[in-house]
Amino acid sequence: MIDIETAVHYRHEWKHEINLADLFVIRQRLRAVMTPDRHTIDGRYLIRSLYFDNARDKALREKIDGVNMREKFRIRYYNHDPSVIHLEKKSKRNGLGSKFSANLTAEEAQRIVDGDLDWMLGSDRPLVQELYCKMRGQGLRPKTIVDYTREPYLYRPGNVRVTFDYDIRTGLSCTDFLNPDCVTVPAGDAGIILEVKWDEFLPDIVRDAVWVPGRRETAFSKYAQCRIYG
| pLDDT above 90 as % of the chain | 83
Question: What is the fold of 12-225?
Answer: mRNA Triphosphatase Cet1; Chain A (3.20.100)
DSSP 95: T
pTM of the predicted protein model: 0.93
Tens digits of residue pLDDT in 83-105: 999 999 999 998 899 999 999 99
Angle at 126 between CA 125 and CA 127, to 5 degrees: 95
* Residue 67 pLDDT grade (very low, low, confident, very high; cuts 50, 70, 90): very high
CB 135, CB 51: distance < 8 Å: no
DSSP letters, 99-119, are EEEEEE-HHHHHHHHTT--GG
Q: Where are the domains of the chain?
A: 12-225
Distance CA(230)–CA(144), nearest Å, equals 9
Could you tell me which residues come within 8 angstroms of residue 196 by beta carbon, excluding any fewer than 6 positions away? 13, 14, 15, 160, 161, 162, 202, 206, 210
Distance CA(25)–CA(19), nearest Å, equals 10
Mean pLDDT for the chain?
93
* Beta strand 185-186 pairing with 45-53: unpaired
Give me the pLDDT at residue 178, please: 96
